[in-house]
Structure formats: C-alpha cells, structure tokens
Amino acid sequence: MNIESERLIRFSFFFMGLILFSFLELFFQYRNRTLSRRSRWPANFVMILIGGIVVKLLLPSGLVFFSEIASRRGIGLFNLFQINFASELVISIILLDLLIYFQHVLTHKINFLWQFHRVHHADTDLDATSALRFHPLEIVGSVIYKAFWIMLFGFSYEAILIFEIILNFMAMFNHSNITLPSKLEKVLRVLFVTPQMHIIHHSIEKYESDRNYGFNLSLWDRIFKTYKSRFESEGIIGQAYYRGQKEHQLWELLKLPWTKV
Ligand SMILES: [Zn+2]
C-alpha cells in the first residue's frame, strides 16, 4: 500500500469517528458541557492540525518507516523468530497497547513529560476532539518512543497501521461525551476502556487522574492496579489552574509546558 492510500484510510477513520461520536453526543449526551463547543473546538482542531503537520514534516512516511528498516535489516524480535502472520498481528497489537499504557503512565509520573501532557488534561470538557488534542512536542516524543519499540520488536507494517487506526478510533470513543446503556457499559469495560471509565482519568483530583491510563484494553489498569471504577470526587475535569477560557486559547496551550502555574 502506498503512503497516500494509507494516509487516506487513516484520515477516513478519524473523520468517521469524529462525525459518529459527535453525532451520538447529540442524542446520548453524558455530561453537561461547561463551555460550548464553539469555545473549545477551534483550539482543539488547530492543535490536532499542528500535530499532524509536525509528524508529516518529521516523518513523511510515518511510523512504518521504522518497521521497514527493521524488516530490511532483519532486526527486532518478530524478524528474528518467524510465527504465523495472524498470531504475530494479534500479539503485536496487544503488546503495542501495553506499551502505550506504560507511555501514558510515564507522561504522568515524570515531571518533564507531564509539563507537555497537561495540555491534553487542561480541557475542561471531553469529547472526540479532546482525544487528539496534544502538544506537538508530546506527539514528537510519542513518535520517538514508538520508534524505539518498533525497532526492538520489529512490528510489521500491518500491525502498526491497524494499531494506529484502532488507537485513534478508541481514543475518540473513550473521550466522547456519550452515555452508554449501563448494562452494555458494564460488559464493555470488562475488556475495553469506556468513556465512563476514561473520564475519571481526567479528574481535577490527582488521586483520580492517576487512574485508568488505558486507551484500548481495560486489562492493563486491572493488572497494574490503576483501575478506578467510579468518581469519588465531584467529577470536575480539567486542571486547577487556568479555569476559564485560557485552556482553550491556542497560544496559551502551545506555551503551557513553559508556563508557571
Ligand atoms: Zn493522561
């Protein structure tokens, strides 16, 4: 598959997710918004756009660039030990999800990384746009982190592409402001991260934002004891500083990692 069709597929999933979850929010809204979408969306969309442009400039062929190097040079575990394609794909996707869970924990525990990650956490409401609202330098850090693991494990082109699409789509799902029927939600969260589970991670209270780090499988939070089933606090989300408009102003968000709060 060439890079342009790959980009088109990824963009289509992003666009479908955005429309689907924003549309569902009209009928199954979970929480009242603190601000209108008009106040939040311009900065969120421009941040998403800047992130996309930075990655494209830095790495025109995307993360698969590293997968191709690993495969050509025969490095990485999956290139050294051949197993069948389907098993490799499933193991790779589960492993990538675990690595993303750890990356997320690190962005909270290492202060330098948190300075960037708090841009994502400063949003005072959650919806599908919050899922991709990251500081461009955090996105660069994320690319470097993933590149390291791709070289180490030799993940295939297909595994990376499928995982990135799933991650993108699931992040939009679990950040969306939709409520699911409670029985369905209970069944879903046995395996997957639901919006009602992830929103606890966006609590203004640290004892709650240090929980529910997962993006796809809820398994990791259960295994590593970071799972929290419901809010104990009042459920205010965002960060304690900047309450008002600043967390939705582009320039404020771009300089937030260097802003004393
Ligand atoms: Zn976080």
Read off the pLDDT of residues 231-260 as tens digits, 9 standing for 90 and up.
999 999 998 877 767 778 899 899 999 988
The residue segments making up the domain with residue 252 are 3-25+35-258
* pLDDT mean across residues, the chain: 92
pLDDT category at 217 given cuts 50, 70, 90 is very high
Q: Does 41 reside within a domain?
A: yes
pLDDT for the residue 74:
86
- Cα of 215 from ligand 1 centre, angstroms: 10
Residue 44 in any domain: the answer is yes
Q: Apex CA 197: angle with CA 212 and CA 9, to 5°?
A: 90
Residue with tokens 């809010």: 231
Rounded to the nearest whole angstrom, what is the distance from the C-alpha of residue 76 to the centroid of ligand 1?
29
| Cβ 17 vs Cβ 169: under 8 Å | yes
Tell me the pLDDT tens digit for each residue of 107-151: 999 999 999 999 999 999 999 999 999 999 999 999 999 999 999
**What's the CA-to-centroid distance between 223 and ligand 1, angstroms?**
18
The pLDDT value recorded for residue 1 is: 64
Q: Is residue 30 part of a domain?
A: no
Q: Kindly report which listed range (79-88, 164-173, 187-196, 210-219) carries the lowest average pLDDT score.
A: 79-88
Q: How many domains does the chain have?
A: 1
Distance from the CA of 227 to the center of ligand 1, in angstroms?
14
Centroid of ligand 1 to alpha carbon of 4 (angstroms): 31
Over residues 197-223, mean pLDDT: 96
- Provide the pLDDT for residue 4: 75
Asked whether residue 3 carries a pLDDT value surpassing 80, the answer given is no
CA of 219 to the centre of ligand 1 (A): 17
Distances (CA, A) of 4 to 11, 62, 125, 152, 249: 10, 11, 34, 27, 32
Asked whether residue 170 is domain-assigned, the answer is: yes
Q: Judge whether 171 lies within some domain.
A: yes
Q: Evaluate whether residue 131 is within a structural domain.
A: yes
Question: How far, in Å, from the CA of 167 to the mean position of ligand 1?
Answer: 14
Q: Is the pLDDT assigned to residue 45 strictly greater than 90?
A: yes
* Ligand 1 centre distance from Cα of residue 171 (Å): 12
Residues 195/30, Cβ–Cβ less than 8 Å: yes
Q: Is 99's pLDDT higher than 90?
A: yes
Residue 142 within a domain: yes
Does residue 160 belong to any structural domain of this protein?
A: yes
Could you tell me what percent of the chain has a pLDDT over 90?
Answer: 70
Band (pLDDT 50/70/90 cuts) for residue 76 is confident
pLDDT at 203: 96
Of 24-33, 98-107, 218-227, which range is least confident? 24-33
Which pLDDT score, from 0 to 100, does residue 83 have?
86
Tell me how far the alpha carbon of residue 80 lies from the centroid of ligand 1, in angstroms: 34
Pure H helices in 2-110: 3-27, 37-58, 64-73, 77-80, 85-109
Give the distance (Å) from ligand 1 centre to CA of residue 186: 22
User: Residue 253 Cα, ligand 1 centroid: separation in angstroms?
Assistant: 16
